[in-house]
Amino acid sequence: MDLIEVSDIVRPRSEADIPPWQEGDAYVAGGTWLFSEPQPGVRRLVDLTDIPWTPIERTDDVIRISATCTYDELEAGGELLGGAGPLFSRAIRTLSSSFKTYGEATLGGNICLAYAKSMMAPVCCALGATYDLATPEGRSRRVLATLFQIDARETIRRPGEYLRAILIPAAATNAAYALRAHSYTPTSHATAMVIATRQPGAGGNGSRAHEAMALVVSAATTHPVRVELAPGAREEDAAAAAVRVCNKSSLLDDAHGSAAYRRAVVAHLAARATAAVGNNGSEEVRS
């Protein structure tokens, strides 16, 4: 570890015990990025993992997942997560990290890392989630998941704010989801990922005229991008929409794939995911 400038570690047992933010603070919520490379300017670590937030709670309207909920706890969410549970599980399985980290790595840590190839943020975008941020003044600021990350390693989180919880509309569990991801090997980072969603219309008579359809494109782009589709969109419509997303967004260009290659893969995955979601989703994760 290269945290040679850190002089203090604080482990609050409640939110009331979190010390006032000061320059040089960094919040820890189960993520490992802080410990994998130098962190110049970080003087104090505030570890939130001992705060006894309930991992997952559900009401008639909202599913609340704490920022410190681990991957293991997500996969054990069962009935509380409903239809969102399998989607989280599929995303976890696309991560290049070892299963040995699943008991420590947290949903909030992955989201706030804002890694371009993060798997958790795209899922939250697909589910229509809202993030509950605690401000230094002790207030709550809520931000749509689709607006939180604006670039690789860059979010709209302000100094002193920390992520408290992820709020998912309970109605999101009624939608069909299909996740498609591509990588060179089962253990390498994803080159591209697409999540297609189909929310049944209010009529409930099987008609697709009023359904809501959307795509979330990630891994190829520097941050997750959500685009709405017309009701009843076909595979070719989804592929075209995904290409438009890529043309308007910054694409990654590295050893895992050029920008042109990622654009082509995204179009292919969008078509496959849309076909699958038309059949109420699929268990397949990787293409």
Residue 2 lies inside a defined structural domain of this protein? no
Write out the two tokens for 239.
């592929």
How many structural domains are present in the chain? 3
pTM of the model: 0.91
Are residue 26 and residue 126 in the same domain, yes or no?
A: no
152: domain range? Answer: 56-170
Residue 283 lies in a domain: no
Of 170, 200, 226, the residue that ends a domain is 170
Residue 285 lies inside a defined structural domain of this protein:
no
pLDDT means per 10 residues, the chain with 287 residues, are 82 95 89 71 92 96 96 91 92 77 88 89 97 95 97 94 97 93 81 93 58 94 96 95 96 92 97 86 40
In a domain, 1, yes or no: no
Q: In whole angstroms, how large is the CA radius of gyration of the chain?
A: 19
The CATH number for 73's domain is: 3.30.465.10
Could you give phi then psi for residue 214, rounded to 5 degrees? -155, 160
DSSP codes of every residue in 102-148: TTT-BHHHHHHHT-TT-SHHHHHHHTT-EEEEEPTTS-EEEEEHHHH
Residue 282 domain-assigned (yes or no):
no
* Torsion angles phi and psi, residue 78, rounded to 5: 50, -125
Domain C-terminal end among 170, 186, 217: 170
pLDDT of residue 263: 97
Q: Please tell me whether residues 69 and 94 are part of one structural domain.
A: yes
Q: Residue 227's closest CA among 261, 181, 278, 267?
A: 267
